[in-house]
């Protein structure tokens, strides 16, 4: 167990009036124990209590080190593991429950644990995870550096007659050759009008002169996720409108990054980018929030949107990804990851954002 992280979680629980909680999110368990287990349909649960009476429930199928730093309850598929889990719970007191805890476990716990109430309380971990510690910052820098190098190679795959799928099919090998463990998400590769589609997966569309080429890509390394988007032009910028759209998105990205520092409300960061796009007449074409938090997962708790009035804190890492999408015509998105520092922010991606015409 990472005792520093656990202490922070217990402190958040205290402010929520919770003495005990069941954590089931595999990433949250990895965050606290250093061991990632994907339990599939099986139970994986970490019970924590202010008293220090913690216990982790792990199926025998999964190997874990002896010295996990927390008492283990091991079980096989045919054992009763729900009664021991319920027995942990202090009756008569509220029980915090992870947001992802599945009904097949939660309903028996509600029927048998005797807790006085049940409260979704993932926020106690999620808010801690939102502020990356030094070790995590290093890993996010490292994985983002790989993503920068990979983007340069992806750019090199743009050529006459290539399809989206052909480019996408080469990305995993490139990431691995640069030291990544794999994708952090399936890459989005779009040409021309396909760039305007929200979640367009690479297909057999053939590249043609004047197309935009959008790469929304990320790799994973040592558990942490990169995520970056760049949009290129192939051979020419087909119209002044295309150029204006690109430059507007670039300025929106820069405007948001320029105001980042501890204490800035995240809705203001969203606004800084959105205002520039609105002023250019493309407000309705920026159809999503400006960014999302990221770390062990590509999308973590926390976002940069008009609805989020929370302020940026030191150690937050999130994306800044404004976009303009004109259906049937063109889409441009530019995305970096940023780390909030004591006196501003560190942009984790260094790949150029200047308008770039690939010959």
- Name which position in 36, 64, 79, 120 contacts its own copies (CB under 8 A): 120
Decide whether 134 or 199 has the Cβ nearer to its own copies. Answer: 199
58: nearest Cα among 48, 45, 49: 45
Q: Which of residues 176-205 bind its own copies (CB under 8 A)?
A: 198
Decide whether 110 or 145 has the Cβ nearer to its own copies. Answer: 110
Q: Which of residues 121-150 bind its own copies (CB under 8 A)?
A: 122
Least distance CB 181 / its own copies (angstroms): 11
Of 113-121, 206-214, 254-262, 267-275: span binding its own copies (CB under 8 A): 113-121
Look up residue 65 and give its two tokens.
Answer: 């080190």
Residue 145 CA, chain-centre distance (Å), reads 17
- Name which position in 4, 15, 65, 103 contacts its own copies (CB under 8 A): 103
Bridge partner list, 163: 206
DSSP 220-247: EETTEE--EEEEEEESS---HHHHHHHH
Of 49-57, 99-107, 248-256, 261-269: span binding its own copies (CB under 8 A): 99-107
Q: Do you know the residue count of the chain?
A: 359
CA 123, CA 191: separation in Å to the nearest integer? 39
CA 124, CA 136: separation in Å to the nearest integer? 18
Contact 146, 175 (CB under 8 A): yes
CA 245 to each of CA 39, 129, 257, 350: distance values in angstroms, whole numbers, following the listed order:
45, 35, 19, 22
Q: Which of residues 232-271 bind its own copies (CB under 8 A)?
A: none
Decide whether 40 or 52 has the Cβ nearer to its own copies. Answer: 40
94-97 and 20-23: which strand pairing?
Answer: parallel
Four-CA torsion 315, 119, 97, 107, nearest 10 degrees? -160
Tell whether residue 17 is a contact of its own copies (CB under 8 A): no
Look up residue 162 and give its two tokens.
Answer: 């290539």
Tell whether residue 107 is a contact of its own copies (CB under 8 A): yes
14: nearest Cα among 101, 121, 106, 110: 121
Tell whether residue 27 is a contact of its own copies (CB under 8 A): no
- State the binding string over 299-338 for its own copies (x if CB under 8 A, else -): x-------x-------------------------------
123: nearest Cα among 293, 268, 289: 293
Of 86-94, 98-106, 233-241, 265-273: span binding its own copies (CB under 8 A): 98-106
Contact 71, 58 (CB under 8 A): no
H or E element, residue 101: none
- Name which position in 106, 145, 237, 264 contacts its own copies (CB under 8 A): 106
Tell whether residue 169 is a contact of its own copies (CB under 8 A): yes
Tell whether residue 78 is a contact of its own copies (CB under 8 A): yes
Of 114-122, 208-216, 230-238, 347-355: span binding its own copies (CB under 8 A): 114-122
- Name which position in 27, 73, 118, 351 contacts its own copies (CB under 8 A): 118
What residues contact 51, with CB distance under 8 A and at least 6 apart? 19
- Name which position in 93, 99, 112, 235 contacts its own copies (CB under 8 A): 99
Residues touching its own copies, count (CB under 8 A)? 27
Tell whether residue 98 is a contact of its own copies (CB under 8 A): yes
Write out the residues near its own copies by the rule CB under 8 A.
Answer: 40-41, 61, 77-78, 97-104, 106-108, 110, 118-120, 122, 169, 172-173, 198, 299, 307
């Amino acid at each position: 167990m990472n005792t520093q992280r656990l202490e922070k979680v217990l402190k958040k629980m205290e402010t929520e009036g919770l003495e005990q909680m069941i954590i089931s999110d595999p990433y949250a368990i990895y965050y606290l124990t250093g061991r990632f287990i994907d339990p599939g349909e099986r139970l994986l649960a970490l019970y924590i209590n202010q008293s220090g009476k913690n216990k982790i429930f792990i199926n025998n199928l999964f190997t874990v080190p002896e010295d996990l730093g927390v008492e283990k309850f091991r079980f096989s598929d045919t054992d009763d593991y729900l009664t021991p889990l319920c027995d942990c719970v202090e009756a008569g007191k509220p029980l915090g429950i992870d947001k992802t805890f599945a009904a097949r476990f939660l309903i028996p716990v509600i029927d048998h644990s005797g807790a006085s109430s049940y409260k979704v309380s993932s926020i106690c971990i999620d808010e801690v995870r939102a502020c990356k510690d030094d070790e995590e910052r290093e890993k996010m820098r490292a994985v983002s550096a790989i993503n920068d190098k990979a983007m340069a190679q992806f750019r090199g795959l743009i050529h006459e007659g290539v399809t989206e799928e052909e480019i996408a099919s080469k990305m995993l090998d490139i990431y691995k050759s640069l030291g990544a463990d794999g994708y952090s998400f399936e890459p989005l590769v779009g040409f021309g009008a396909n760039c305007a589609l929200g979640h367009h997966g690479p297909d057999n569309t053939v590249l043609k002169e004047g197309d935009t080429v959008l790469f929304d890509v990320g790799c994973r390394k040592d558990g942490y996720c990169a995520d970056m988007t760049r949009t290129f032009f192939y051979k020419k910028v087909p119209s002044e409108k295309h150029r204006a759209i690109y430059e507007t998105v670039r300025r929106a990205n820069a405007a948001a990054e320029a105001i980042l520092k501890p204490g800035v409300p995240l809705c203001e960061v969203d606004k800084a980018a959105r205002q520039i796009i609105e002023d250019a007449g493309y407000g309705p074409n920026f159809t999503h929030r400006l960014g999302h938090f990221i770390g062990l997962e590509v999308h973590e708790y926390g976002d940069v949107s008009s609805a989020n009035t929370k302020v940026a804190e030191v150690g937050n890492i999130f994306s800044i990804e404004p976009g303009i999408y004109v259906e049937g015509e063109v889409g441009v998105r530019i995305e970096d990851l940023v780390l909030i520092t004591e006196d501003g922010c560190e942009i984790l991606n260094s790949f150029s954002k200047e308008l770039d015409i690939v010959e």
